[in-house]
Structure 1
C-alpha cells in the first residue's frame, strides 16, 4: 500500500513539474507593446499603460500574472510629456538603466520620445531621473524608439513622420552620442511600399483605404546577420502584421544598405484565432540558446488597438539563409515549453 501511495505521489509530482515548465498564451489579459529585458536571473517586463510607467520582475516570464511589479514613474501634469505614454522599453547601457518612451501633451501631433535614467543596478531601487527629450534633426513626430549597440556604437530606430502632418509613418535611424542624445541627422531606412503595409479599414476587406504605417521597429541580430522587424498597417485592423528589413553590408546609416522582405513575416491566423499580431520585442532564453518573440495580439476579429490586445510569446526558428522564421501565432489552448533555463537553475 505504501508503495502504491509513493508511486501516486511521485506521478503527481511529475505532473506538477511538467505543468510548471509549460504555459499557454496570452501571458496577461491585456498589455500592448510588450517589452522584456533579461538581467541577473530575472525578466524585467513592461507594456503600454498610457499614463504611467510600470515594471514587472519575474524569473519565469510565462508566469507574468504573478510577477512583482512597481510603479516607476508618473509624469508631472501640464508638460509636453504628460499624456499618451506609449511603448516603453527598459535597457541596460554602460551599467545604468534607461527607459525610453513616447509621450505628448494630449495632442498626438506632439508625440516625441523621452528617456529616464537610473544608476542603480536594481531597477526596482534607486532614483529614476528624467533626462529629457530624445530628438533627431529635424525634430518631428516620433514614437516607438528602440536602442541597440552595433560595433560598439549606440543607435536608435523609431517610427516617425516625414513632416508635420500624418501622411505616413516611416522607420528612421540615427547614431547616438550618449543614451539620451541623438547625434546628427535622422536617416530614412524603411517606408510603406507594399499593399500589406497600407491596410486601414476592416469594414471593406476587399477595398480597404490605404493607411501607410511602418512602426514598432525592433533590432534583431544572429550570427552576424542584422535585421529590423517592424509592424505594418493600421493597428486598429486585423491586417496589422510584422515586416522585416535586412542589413546588406555594415553601413547602418546608408538607406540602400537595408533590403525589405516583400511579404509579411508574421501575421494573423484566423484558424488559431489570433488577430493583428504586432509591436513585438525579442529576448533570449535564460540559458542563451533560444531566441523568442514577445508580441501583442487580439483573440477576436475587429477588436482594434484598445485594451483587448494581450501579450504573447513563442520561440523563433531560423531558416537556412539565416533569416528568422516566426511561424504562425499559436492558439491560446496550445501548451508551449517555457524558455530554456540554465542547468544549475534546474537543480
Structure 2
C-alpha cells in the first residue's frame, strides 16, 4: 500500500473530448424526434450529419443535401446554414453571394416537405429580405415568441460596413412582414472591427429570452460571444427592450487550445435536462476564418439570476461527461 489514493480515471465510455470534428466553422444543431441534425459552413454546399448522440458526431454519416447553381445570386460562399422545422416542413436558411467578394452576401431559403431532411427535394424559396433595405445580410436565424415568428440577422445599414443585428416579423418562412429594426450595434471595446454577427436565441427554464452573438471578426484572435437579454414579456421589435451585457460570455483561452471561439448553436441533452452550447474555435493563434475552425461543445448552466454560464472553452482532449442520456 502506498498510503494515498490514485486519481480516479474517467470512464471513457461515458466521456468525450473536443474537438468533435477536425473542421466545422459556424456549427449549428437542431433536434427532432430524438435525432440531432448538425451542419456547418463548407463554403460550397450544405451538408447535414444525422446522429442520436452528439458525442458521436464524428461517426455520423455526412449527406450533401444541396449544391448551389453554377451562377446566380446564391452561387458562391455558402455560409452558416441553419435548419428549422416550421409548419410541418423543413427550411434551410443560409448565406450566399454571386461572387467571391463578400459584399453581395445575402440570406436565402430552401424548403423540403420530407420527414427526414437528409432525404426529399430541397426547393429554392429565394432570398429573404427587407426589400426597402436590401443590403449585406448574413447569419439569419428564426425566433418564435408569443405566437409570432421573427427573423434575426446581421447586416449593414447601407451607409457603412459596420455589422449590426436586425429583426423583422415574418409573413411566412421565406418572406418578411415588416421593415427591419436594428436591435444591436458594436459599442464596447471587446466588440472590435465593427462586427455583431451570428445571432442565436437561447431560453432559460423560465422562458426568459437571450440573444447570443459573435463579435470582432473571425480573421482575428479576438472573436468572442456576447449576450443580450429581452425584457420580460416585451416586444422584441422595440430596440430599447433589449439589453446588451457589458462583458463577453465566451472568449479565447490559449492555454486550452481555444482561439477565436464563436458562431454557436444550442441544444439540449437527450433527456432534455441539460443545456449545451456548440461553437467553433481555432486550435492555434492566427488561423483566422478558414477550415481550421473546429466544432466543440460543452455544457452550460444558469446562475441564480437566470443568466447563462458557459465558463471558458474546455481544453482540447480533456474528457467531459457526455450529454445525459447518451
Of residues 209, 212, 218 in structure 2, which corresponds to 1:226? 209
Cα root mean square deviation, aligned: 1.4
What is the aligned partner in structure 2 of residue 159 from structure 1? 154
Which structure 1 segments of 5+ residues have no match?
Answer: 1-14, 199-210
> What is the SS of the residue equivalent to 1:276?
strand
Q: Which residue of 1 aligns with 2:140?
A: 145
1:58-88 CA-partner distances (Å, limit 9, x unpaired)? 1111111110221101111110110001000
Whether the 8 Å contact between 1:98 and 1:116 is mirrored in structure 2 is yes
Aligned mate of 1:260, from 230, 244, 254: 244
Q: Structure 1: how far apart are the matches of 2:63 and 2:281?
A: 24
Q: Which runs of 5+ in 2 are unaligned?
A: 1-8
Q: How far is the alpha carbon of 1:217 from its aligned partner?
A: 0.4
**Which SS does the other structure have where 1:49 is aligned?**
coil
Aligned pairs for 1:267-346 within 5 A: 267-341=251-325
Q: How does 1:51-70 map to 2 (within 5 A)?
A: 51-70=44-63
- Is the partner of 1:243 in helix, strand or coil? strand
Determine the C-alpha separation between the residues in 2 that align with 1:306 and 1:194.
Answer: 26
Normalised by the length of structure 1, the TM-score is 0.88
2: CA distance, partners of 1:273 / 1:77: 38
Q: Which residue of 1 aligns with 2:39?
A: 46
Distance in 1, Cα, partners of 2:226 & 2:63: 33
Whether the 8 Å CA contact 2:65–2:119 is kept in 1: the answer is no
Provide the residue aligned with 2:6 in structure 1: none
Could you say which residue in structure 2 is the equivalent of 1:89? Answer: 82
- Superposition deviation, residue 165 in structure 1: 4.6
- How far has the Cα of 1:18 moved from its partner? 3.7
CA distance in 1, matches of 2:74, 2:160: 19
**Larger helix percent:** 1
Relative contact order (alpha carbons < 8 A, sep ≥ 6): 1 or 2 greater?
2
- Partner Cα distance (2:272, 2:186) in 1: 34
Per-residue deviation, 1:53: 0.6
- 1:172–1:187 Cα contact (<8 Å) kept: yes
Contact residue 230 and residue 242 of structure 1 kept, 8 A: yes
Distance 1:330 1:237, change over 3 A: same
Distance in 2 of aligned mates of 1:92 and 1:108: 28
Q: Residue 133 of structure 2 contacts residue 157 of structure 2 at CA under 8 Å; is this kept in 1? A: no
Distance 2:207 2:48 in 1: 31
Task: Please point out which of 228, 238, 252 is paired with 1:245.
Answer: 228
**Which secondary structure state, in structure 1, belongs to the residue aligned with residue 254 of structure 2?**
coil
Separation in structure 2 between the aligned mates of residue 36 and residue 291 of structure 1, nearest angstrom = 12
Q: 4+ runs of 1 displaced by more than 6 Å? A: none
Once residues 294 and 212 of structure 1 are traced to their aligned partners in structure 2, the CA distance between those partners, rounded to angstroms, is 24
SS in 1 for 2:119: coil
Pick one of 184, 192, 199 that aligns with 1:217.
199
| Deviation by residue 1:99-127 (Cα, 9 ceiling, x = unmatched) | 00000011321111001011111112211
Match for 2:24 among 10, 31, 50? 31
* CA–CA separation in structure 2 for the residues paired with 1:305 and 1:183: 34
CA distance in 1, matches of 2:197, 2:85: 23
Aligned residue number for residue 130 of structure 1: 124
